[in-house]
Amino acid sequence: MSEFRLRTLELIDAGRQLYQMGLVPATSGNLSARMSDGTLAVTVSGRHKGKLCEDDIMQVTATGQSLDDRRPSAECLLHVQIYNRIPDARVVLHPHSINATLLSRLRDGALVLQDYELLKAFPGIDTHHCEVRVPIFNNCQDIAHLAAEVDAGLSGKEPGYLIRGHGFYTWGNTVEDALRHVEAFEFLFECEMRLTGLKQ
């Protein structure tokens, strides 16, 4: 099987799993994988990420230029920025979750996570006794501008980031790694939302 087809099937299955978790409602969210030649497999714009078929994944250059006549997901440049910035990232997932949407509106600048055992699901973290800072960027429809803001605001050590009122981005070396980060983030976001409610 071609590398493109293999990545395509992985992304279709990842989308199905994200949808079952309620993380890609309507046609929100987008998914991509970096191939060995540097090109990307990415979702076609406007498709339902929970019900993807092979025709819904397209190939773009390392800079996000379409290699056929179709248009990739609007946020394709955000995927490109991550691949450029994080050498180990070979899969990028952008879930559009309720918890991420709300927390990114309720917090300023960053969400700080600490004293959760599940933080160990993120790379390089081996104790709950630490602080993980998840940057929050203001939403913007000019994706090139937003990508530049993200590039300036990322330290490169974060396991992901939030876009205000929009959702979050996370990545991994494999689709399993990226999905593990999604599950960990959603768990932690839900914990933070509930604690915020109790702090009223």
Which residues contribute to the site for its own copies (CB under 8 A)?
25-28, 48, 96, 98, 101-102, 105-106, 115-118, 121, 126-129, 139, 141, 163-167, 176, 180-181, 183-184, 186-187, 190-191, 193-198, 200
As to burial, measured by CB atoms within 10 angstroms (0-12 exposed, 13-18 middle, 19+ buried), residue 158 is middle
**At its nearest, how many Å lie between its own copies and the CB of residue 32?**
18
Question: Considering beta carbons, is residue 111 or 163 the nearer one to its own copies?
Answer: 163
Question: Considering beta carbons, is residue 4 or 52 the nearer one to its own copies?
Answer: 52
Token pair belonging to 194:
């509930």
**At its nearest, how many Å lie between its own copies and the CB of residue 103?**
10
Q: Do residues 170 and 181 touch, judged by C-beta distance below 8 A?
A: yes
Question: Considering beta carbons, is residue 25 or 35 the nearer one to its own copies?
Answer: 25
Question: Considering beta carbons, is residue 109 or 165 the nearer one to its own copies?
Answer: 165
**At its nearest, how many Å lie between its own copies and the CB of residue 55?**
15
Q: Do residues 15 and 43 touch, judged by C-beta distance below 8 A?
A: yes
**At its nearest, how many Å lie between its own copies and the CB of residue 80?**
19
